[in-house]
Structure 1
Amino acid sequence: MSTTRPVSPVTLVTGGSRGIGAATCVRLAGAGHDVALSYVRDAEAAERTAEAVRAAGARCVTVRADTAEEADVDRLFDVAAERLGPVTGLVNNAGVSGPLGRLADADTDVLRRVLDVNVLGALLCCRRAAQVMTPRGTGAIVNVSSAAATLGSPGDYVHYAASKAALDALTVGLAKELGPDGIRVNAVAPGITDTDMHAAMGAPDRAAQAAPGIPLRRPGAPDEIAAAIAWLLSPDASYTTGTVLRVAGGR
C-alpha cells in the first residue's frame, strides 16, 4: 500500500498574516492547498495564521518580505518552492492605503509607498509567477483589487483607488498574455470589508459607518472575500480568466 503524500497545490499569499489574507490562507488550507504567506512586520500574526493553516491539515511557511522589493519577491518564491514545492498559485493580496484624506493633503511618501506596494509589488510577483508557471503550462493568479477602482473613493484615498485600477488593467492584460501558456489570471474586487485596515487608516469604525450606503446594508467579512479567491483558484473556475469579480455587497 502506497504511503506517498498526494501532491497538493502550493499557493503563495502575499500579506497573508491578517484580514483578507489570513482568511484566504485558512480557506485554501481547507481546500487542500499548502500555503506560503508573506508578511512585513507582524511575525506573531503571521505565525497565528500559519498555525490555523496547519490545524486545517495543510503545510505552511511564513516569509518576511516586502513585495515592493525585487530581492524579497525572489526570496519569497524561492523559499516557498524549497519548503513546499513548485508554486502553482499566487494571491496578490499585499496592499497599503495610507491615511484617509483628500489627495491635495497626501504626502508624497504615502503616494509613493501605495504605488510601490499595490502596483510595483503586484507586477514583481506576477512576473515571477509567470516565470515559474509558464514552463509547467499551468497555474493561477488572483489579484486582490478593490471596488474603489471604479468608485474612485473621493475624499478617502483617490491614490489607492488609482492603484487598484492599475491592478485591474494588469489582470486583464496578463490574462490575455498568459492564457496560451495555460495560466489563468483573475482579480477579486472587495467592497468595504470589516478588517483592521480601517484602524490603520485612522477610522476604526469606518466599515460599520459605511453600512447604510451598501445595498446589503453591511460590510463584508474576510471569509466572504476569501471564498471568492478560493473559487477563482479552484478547478471550478477552469474557464474563467481576465475577470474582475466584484464582491462588494452591491456597490
Structure 2
Amino acid sequence: MDFTGKVALVTGGASGIGEAATRAFAKAGAKVAFTYISSGAEANALEKEIAGAGGQALAIKADLTRQDETDAAFAAVVRAFGTVDVVFTNAGGILQRIGTIESSLDLWQRAFDLNVMSTYLTCQAAVKIMAEKKSGAIVTMSSLAAMDGGGPGALHYASSKGAIVTYTRALAKELGPLGIRVNGVAPGLIDTRFHVQFNTPEGRKAAVEGTPLRREGTAEDVANLVVFLASDKAAFITGETVQINGGRGLY
C-alpha cells in the first residue's frame, strides 16, 4: 500500500496502537502528523526517528476534547503539509474500572468526552478539509467492548465505544456522496500499556485462553488493518467497524 504524496494524521499517535499506526503510515510513504497529550518525550523521539529514516513527521500536543485545540492541530498540519488526506482517530481510553452503583455522572461525561466527543471534533475538523477536495479516508477507534459489553467495571467505556460504532456508520452515510470513506477498527486484547494498566495478568491469561488464535494481538496487527482501511485497496468499503481480536469476538 502506497501513501506517497498523502498526508495522514494519527491522534494519540505517540504510544501503543497509535504509535504503530504512525510508523506504518510513514513506512508506506505518507507525511505523518500525530497528536499526543502527555507523551512528550516519546513524541519527540518518534518524530526524530521518522525524519532520520527519510520521512516527514510532525508531533502536535493537543487535547482533542477541546474544539480550539483540535482545530489548531489541524491548522498546524495544513501549514506543515498542505492538506489532510487520512485521519485515524485513535485518541481515547478507559478512565477506570468501576461498577454502576459506584460510578458517577462526571465519570460518564468524561468517558464520552474522551472517546466520543474527541472523535466527533476530530472528524468534523477533518471533513472541513476533505469535503473541499471530495476525497479522504477516516478510520475510527472502537473496541471489542462495544460488541460484547467489556469486562467488569467497564460499562462507561463499552458504551462510549459502542457510540463510536454508530457514529462511524452514520458518518459514512453522510460523507459517501462527498467521496469520503469512514470505517472503524474494534480491537480485542492487544499487547500495549493500555491493557497492562487495566487488566490483571490473570485476566489477560484467561482472555488469551478464550481466543481461538491463542495469543494477544500486537499494536502492529491493528496498525496494518488501519492502513489497509485508509488505502485505495479498501476503496469500496465504508461504514464498517472491523473486529480484530484473534476470533475472541466469536463467542
* TM tier relative to shorter chain: over 0.9
Give the conservation status (yes or no) of the 8 Å contact 1:26–1:56. no
C-alpha distance in 2, partners of 1:7/1:30? Answer: 10
TM-score of the pair, normalised by structure 2: 0.92
User: Pairwise mapping of residues 51-130 of structure 1 onto structure 2 (< 5 A)?
Assistant: 51-130=48-127
| Structure 1 counterpart of 2:207 | 210
C-alpha distance in 2, partners of 1:248/1:7? Answer: 30
- Encode CA deviations 1:35-80: one digit per residue, 9 max, x unaligned: 1100111101112222333344321101110110000100110001
Q: 1:248 aligned to 224, 245, 248, which one? A: 245
TM-score of the pair, normalised by structure 1: 0.92
C-alpha distance in 2, partners of 1:237/1:228? Answer: 10
Amino acid at match of 1:79: A
Amino acid at match of 2:244: V
| Structure 1 counterpart of 2:26 | 29
C-alpha distance in 2, partners of 1:57/1:26? Answer: 12
C-alpha distance in 2, partners of 1:197/1:30? Answer: 24
Q: 1:180 aligned to 177, 180, 183, which one? A: 177
Where do 5+ consecutive residues of structure 2 fail to align?
A: none
Where do 5+ consecutive residues of structure 1 fail to align?
A: 1-5
1:108 positional shift: 4.0
Q: What value does the CA root-mean-square deviation take over the aligned residues?
A: 1.7
C-alpha distance in 2, partners of 1:27/1:141? Answer: 16
Give the conservation status (yes or no) of the 8 Å contact 2:189–2:195. no
Give the conservation status (yes or no) of the 8 Å contact 1:99–1:202. no
From the superposition, tell whether residues 200 and 107 of structure 1 become closer, same or farther in structure 2 (CA, over 3 Å): farther
Give the conservation status (yes or no) of the 8 Å contact 1:188–1:246. yes
Deviates more, 1:191-200 or 1:12-21: 191-200
**Secondary structure at the counterpart of residue 103 of structure 1:** coil
Amino acid at match of 1:73: T
Deviates more, 1:138-147 or 1:203-212: 203-212
| Structure 1 counterpart of 2:193 | 196
From the superposition, tell whether residues 7 and 193 of structure 1 become closer, same or farther in structure 2 (CA, over 3 Å): closer
Deviates more, 1:40-49 or 1:105-114: 105-114
Sequence identity of aligned pairs in percent? 36
Give the conservation status (yes or no) of the 8 Å contact 2:10–2:87. yes
Deviates more, 1:21-30 or 1:210-219: 210-219
- Encode CA deviations 1:192-225: one digit per residue, 9 max, x unaligned: 1110013433646754442111111111100000
User: Pairwise mapping of residues 215-226 of structure 1 onto structure 2 (< 5 A)?
Assistant: 215-226=212-223
Give the conservation status (yes or no) of the 8 Å contact 2:144–2:150. no
1:174 positional shift: 0.5
1:99 positional shift: 1.8
Structure 1's consecutive aligned runs of 4 or more residues displaced over 6 angstroms after TM superposition are: none
